[in-house]
Amino acid sequence: MAATPHIVIIGGGFAGLWATRALASAPVRITLVDRHNHHLFQPLLYQVATAGLSAPDIAAPLRHILRRQKNVEVRLATVTAIDANAKCIALDDGATLAFDELLLASGATHAYFGNDHWAQHAPGLKTLDDALDLRRKLLFAFERAEAATDPAEREAWLSFAIVGGGPTGVELAGTLAEIARETLKDEFRNIDPSQARVRLIEAGPRVLATFPETLSEKARRQLEHLGVEVVLGTPVKDIGAEGYTLGDTFVPAKTVVWAAGVAASPLGAMLDVPLDRAGRVLVQPDLSIPGHPDIFVAGDLASLMRANGKPVPGLAPAAKQMGRLVARNIRARLRGEATAAFTYKDYGNLATIGRMAAVVDLGKLKFSGALAWWFWLVMHVFFLIGFRNRLVVLLNWSWAYWSYQRAARIILGDRDDPSAPDRT
């Protein structure tokens, strides 16, 4: 009797987790490696950053999700090397795992386009830790403004910039404007939080560039209605501790958030196959990599063109679909059958902007405003993993909706905040 094939899956995001689940009944032994102990519902990460939800509301332990799937072992570790020829990976805890089939689905991270020194002044949003760091930064800014005695310093603390007009930038800008205008109302004595300047800066000609132009325009108008200043067609030239440079103008701002660039996980480069400009792996139609039919890449790390000449988007539904196809192809290979090519089923595209503001593109059907927001809300709560999280999230949102309050406005981990040296 042959040994049970060992499948190693790197990354417990949408692609990796959906592939793992789709292999539940397969005669294999799976090791799922992730450097976090949880699966993260990334579409709601901005809500944690803006204090609407708690970190555990949008995350669930991978072990718990997979506790009944007996052919899976979850391993909390960071991958330090991948040897495609020797068919093994190395972990930071010293272990080496040999695999028969590998799925690499380690996702994406921020990219600063060669301006890595901007990272310390303009953090991005990819992990729960990022979200909590950002929450602390945003809430601290109002505290600093309240304590400031110099008017120019106060203004700089009340000046916020979000760089990048994609979905994350739009969500952050809209929600931050709502916090300044509504949530913090009446809470300060020396400042008026609604005077905060929230700027969304996009180098391209419109926000939400992956949406139809009409919806981009609607999104821009909804943002402005919420109090966001939208700056289009102007790239940021520099970002420092005291502000940013837009064109030739220096704008004082103590809080800049980076939502402009995404780069593939550095693990892609370990495969030693061609990458695209963003570092993503150029996969074969069946999601395997050239020369290694036993190694697959899925999710945000995979670069693949659709039949219509457009790339498969870096969205959760695409990652889930890829994960499922990889599971199917692994099963096919174990039976000695041919693998299938990936086809992306496009169910549409949605982006939320703020209270009662969103845009929805379902192909033939496009709409925006309150209806789009409700549609977005229902879809997102529905897709959240786990019954309990859905309930808590709905409750938090109902509360936030009726009271304008945000439940998670707790500044944590301040001892690590460089601007707060003595808070121990």
What residues line the site for its own copies (CB under 8 A)? 35-38, 51, 54-57, 59, 61, 63-64, 67-68, 73-78, 80, 92-93, 95, 128-129, 132, 139-140, 143, 146-147, 149, 184-190, 388-389, 391-392, 395-396, 399, 403, 405, 407-416, 421-423
Tell me how long the chain is: 424
Nearer to its own copies, 374 or 401 (CB): 401
Question: Is 153 annotated in the active site?
Answer: no
Asked if residues 408 and 52 have their Cβ atoms less than 8 Å apart, the reply is yes
Angle at 228 between CA 227 and CA 234, to 5 degrees: 155
Cβ contacts of residue 40 below 8 Å, gap of 6+? 13, 58, 59, 127, 128
Nearer to its own copies, 26 or 203 (CB): 26
Closest distance between its own copies and the C-beta of residue 183, in Å? Answer: 9
Closest distance between its own copies and the C-beta of residue 403, in Å? Answer: 8
d(CA 162, CA 172): 8
Closest distance between its own copies and the C-beta of residue 334, in Å? Answer: 21
Nearer to its own copies, 129 or 238 (CB): 129
Nearer to its own copies, 33 or 262 (CB): 33
Determine if residue 422 is left, alpha or beta; phi over 0 gives left, psi from -120 to 50 gives alpha, anything else beta.
alpha
Provide the token pair at 106: 């380690």
Closest distance between its own copies and the C-beta of residue 64, in Å? Answer: 6
Of 73, 143, 146, 171, catalytic: 171
Closest distance between its own copies and the C-beta of residue 143, in Å? Answer: 4
Is 128 in a helix, a strand, or coil? helix
Query: Strands, DSSP E only, in 47-195?
Result: 59-61, 72-76, 79-83, 88-91, 96-98, 101-104, 108-110, 159-163
d(CA 17, CA 15): 6
Nearer to its own copies, 21 or 292 (CB): 21
Provide the annotated active-site residues.
171
